[in-house]
Each structure stands twice: as C-alpha cells, then as structure tokens.
Structure 1
Amino acid sequence: MKIQDEEIRAIVAETLAEQHRVQQESVDAIVLKAVASVLASFGIEDDDRKELRADFQHLRRWRKSVEQAQSYTFKAVITVIATGLMGAVWLGVKVVLGK
C-alpha cells in the first residue's frame, strides 16, 4: 500500500495548518498577558476598562474643546489687529483730508 503524493501533501498541509493555529493561539495568549501586565504596572486592572475608556473619551472631548477655543482666540486676535489697522488708516485719512 503506497501513499500517493496528494495524500502526503494533504497530510502535510493539515499538519502545518494545525501547527500555525496552535502557534497563533500561543502568541495571542502571550500578547494578552503582556498587555495586561503593562496596564497593571500603570495601576489599571482588567475591571477598570470601562472607566479607562470613559477617561480617554473625556480627554478627547477636553482636547477638542481646547483646540476650538484656540481657534476662536486666534480669530479674535486677527479681528482686533485688523480693526486697529483699519481705524489707524481711517484716522490718517481724516487727518490728511482735514488739512
């Protein structure tokens, strides 16, 4: 009884696929453990995920509001400078025409 090439290829492919699946599960477990360890070193436990997500969402809202305030401040400063320059030009024109 001789095993044919196709059967050998199928057995090898199945064995390699199983080995890859086992390795992937092992890598996933190692990565999960490493991430949990790093978060624990920062004082963040697995149970704190919802609070951590809420904290990050709050920080994002805070950052966006600060960026928006900076934009409004920049626009206000430009408006004040432009208004001042236009006022100075107007006064200059009045002085020149008044003489």
Structure 2
Amino acid sequence: MKMADDEIKAIVAETLVEQHRLHQESIDAIVSKVVASVLASLGIEDDDRKELRVDFQHLRRWRKSVEQAQSYTFKAVITVVATGLMGAVWLGVKVALGK
C-alpha cells in the first residue's frame, strides 16, 4: 500500500507543527526559569512580585510628584525674576522721570 503525496505532506506538516510547539514550550520553560533565577539573584522571590509591583507604582507616583514640584519651582523662579526685572524697570522709569 503506497501513500499518496498529499498524505505524506500532511503527516510531515503535522510532525513539524508538533515539533515547533514542543520547541516553543521548551523555550518558554527555559526563559521562565532564567527570569526567576535572575530575580532571585537580586533578592526578589516569586512571593514578592505583588509587593514589588506596588513598590514600582509608588516610585512612579513619587517621581511624577517630584517632576511636578520641579515644574512649579521653575515657574516660581521665572515669576520672581520677571517681577524683579519689572520692578527694576519701574524704578528706572521713576528715577528718569523724577530728574
């Protein structure tokens, strides 16, 4: 009994798909182990992930508030400098008109 070319191609295609799936699962498992190992070497265990996420969220909020404070400080400095310059110009005009 001889197999038809279409049957052989179908069997080869199924085999290749299964090999690819197994290979991908193997890669996923390896990557997962490597990530867990790297995190463990940094002192971060699997149980700490939720806490770590909360810490990063807190750091992001802190960074954004510091950036906002810097923005307000910059605006305040510009306002003070502009007010000082306007005051100096006003005094200059008063002195010039007073003579």
TM-score scaled by length of structure 1: 0.97
Q: Which residue of 1 aligns with 2:49?
A: 49
Shift of 1:76: 0.5
Question: What is aligned with 1:6?
Answer: 6
Q: 2:15 — aligned with what? A: 15
Residue type at the aligned position of 1:59: L
Gap runs ≥5 in structure 1: none
- The aligned length equals 99
1:2 Cα shift?
2.0
Residue deviations 1:6-56 (CA, integer Å, cap 9, x gap): 111111110010000000000000000000000000111001111000100
Which amino acid in the other structure matches residue 89 of structure 1?
A: V
Structure 1 runs (4+) greater than 3 angstroms displaced = none
Unaligned runs of 5+ in 2: none
Separation (CA, whole Å) in 2 of partners of 1:9 and 1:98: 103
Per-residue CA deviation, residues 38-96 of structure 1 (Å, 9 max, x unaligned), is 00001110011110001000000000000000000110011111001000000001111
Aligned-partner residue type, residue 91 of structure 2: L
Of all paired residues, the percent bearing the same amino acid is 86
Instruction: Compute the TM-score of the two structures, normalised by the length of structure 2.
Output: 0.97
- One-letter amino acid of the structure 2 residue matched with residue 40 of structure 1: A
1:17-96 equivalences under 5 Å are 17-96=17-96
| RMSD of aligned alpha carbons | 0.7
